[in-house]
Structure 1
Amino acid sequence: MISKKKKSYEVDVDDGLEKEEDAREDDSSSEETDDPFAEALKEDAEEEKAEADNEVEEEGGLDTIRSYLKEIRKSPLLTFDEEQELAKRIVKGDEAARQKMIESNLRLVVNIGKRYINRGLPFSDIIEEGNLGLMKAVEKFKYEKGFKFSTYASWWIRQSIERAIINQTRTIRLPVHIAESINSFMSVLGPLIQDLGREPSVEEVAEKMDVEVEEVRKIRQIIRKTYSLDRPLGDKDENSLKDIIEDTAILSPAKTTEGIKRREEIIKWLDLLKEMEKDIILMRFGLDGCEPRTLEVIGKQFGITRERVRQIEATSLSKLRFITNKRSIKFEELL
């Protein structure tokens, strides 16, 4: 829940959720009428919307959400020159400038936070973590490098949210040496982001950590798998891909073989999806042998928006649940 103490820095759930629901409805209306999954997906969507509304009401109600959004919109977005001026004042200890920089970027936290809904944390907690990342970005931003603040802050916001989700939902116990490697990896990213004004490449991180490029790739893959495998297969389903696929990077050879068989079983079910749906699920969860890709990367590959990718992902996961349920198969049976 959002505390009064931090109210000036914190964000409530945004009414962009309603816009996303509208987009989903518009999207579903354009689906082919002979799609055998259409009716089931429509029922799923209605039930999920009702559950989402209930969750929102438990956290303070839709009125509170809209009220907060209305409040944060009073703070105008900043131009590049305004960001630079505020940053100069912040360096000198100007608290008013710091407050303005934060308040003017609260909507950025909301926009990023929407991507993590139903990922294991209440939305209010997601926003709180995102705001902590925003404040860290304000603290560490070096205006003299000439980078746009939102580009720099986005990474800190995402990192803060994802770290919280991993800590909250992860049940996989990582070996100590892997945990240490992850901590080392995370510790060098911040300074590199600051120096480069963008997310560094694998090669740049490897050079900073003084390790082989392949080692960095493995670390990134473990981090992304731990996060993505904890994501539920749709808003209603408590099961996640982690319930089906174990992280083979930390399994014995015997269990690795079992994991491969489970992956083959999943691929069989994916073959029942449309080609684009299958490809997006493979890419999002790294089931194609590569690292999981972001919505933006996938969108560029297919020539569609990241929001459209998210919608297709959600629809595909719902279809997977529908397919297995129709065959009286539970996800646990694939373990």
Structure 2
Amino acid sequence: MDRDTLTRSSRERDRNKLTDDRGRLTTDLVSQYLTAIGEYELLTAEREVDYAQKIESGQSAAEALEAGKFKTKAEEIGLRRKVRHGREAKDAFLTANLRLVVANARRYANTSGIDFLDLIQEGNLGLIRAVEKFDWRKGFKFSTYATWWIRQAITRAIADKSRTVRIPVHLHDTLAAVRAAQASLKAELGREPKPEEIAEEAGVNVDKVELALGVADTVSLEQPVGEDGAQLGDFIQDEDAADPMKVTEEMDIADSLRKSIERLPNREGRILALRYGFHDGVPRTLEEIGEEFNLTRERIRQLEKLALCRLRHPSFGIREQDLI
């Protein structure tokens, strides 16, 4: 069993831990769920690294066991112990961050057209993915990294819902018959059969064949590939997709800058927040900020420069390149 198979098996186990026996958070359970997850302690940065290391060690141990890479019973027992500790660390990592999923799901609850509980479920899958992919060596905060994966999972579910193709009930039987005839004729003829040939084989008219083939083409990216439930569309690269590590780094820098700005004198902090759009994502010009403070453009520029000089002090822990 390779790493991918082990990961899929582990992910399924984790998903089951986060849902009921029907595979989702039910309305009856939601109040209890929200109360329960509030009882889990948040993790320190040190504990996050410790758990991530144990998860990594457990994964390596699982692979070694599967490959029979041990010589003695004692070595086997040691590997199984690492696997167990890795699973325990992963469970703890997940449960400590369930509130992060709820917080992100709430952002989409009123506009997505998807039930809040389903958004949480999708977000939980993103959280599982984040725990699996988290590289503790990068030095990022897990919450920043996980937020990217959680939101990606939720927004992907929303996008999938918006473009779902609903096949009319009466077309299902026709589609099945056309596909069967198409496969049979292709094997017999050694080529792709023509619509007329499929129509004769399936006992339907050509118009229905073309309609059915059109539907099949529309949903072809959703067809299963392999035995693991993966779909063809999963293997098509999105050229515009953001690099999660790059996005996480940018989010981490912005978060650090926001916290540092809060330590500045009120006026200087407010000027920087407006200048770089930290509150609403809309950067302001020197003139616009000057109007708000009833100061000249030049005076705002001087105060901005002073604030940036303060941030460069080692006590703020801001890197020079992050201020460029």
| Category of TM-score, reference length = shorter chain | 0.3 to 0.5
User: Which of structures 1 and 2 has the bigger CA Rg?
Assistant: 2
Q: Taking CA–CA contacts closer than 8 Å with sequence separation of 6 or more, which of the two structures ends up with the larger relative contact order?
A: 1
What TM-score do the two structures reach when normalised by structure 1? 0.39
What TM-score do the two structures reach when normalised by structure 2? 0.40
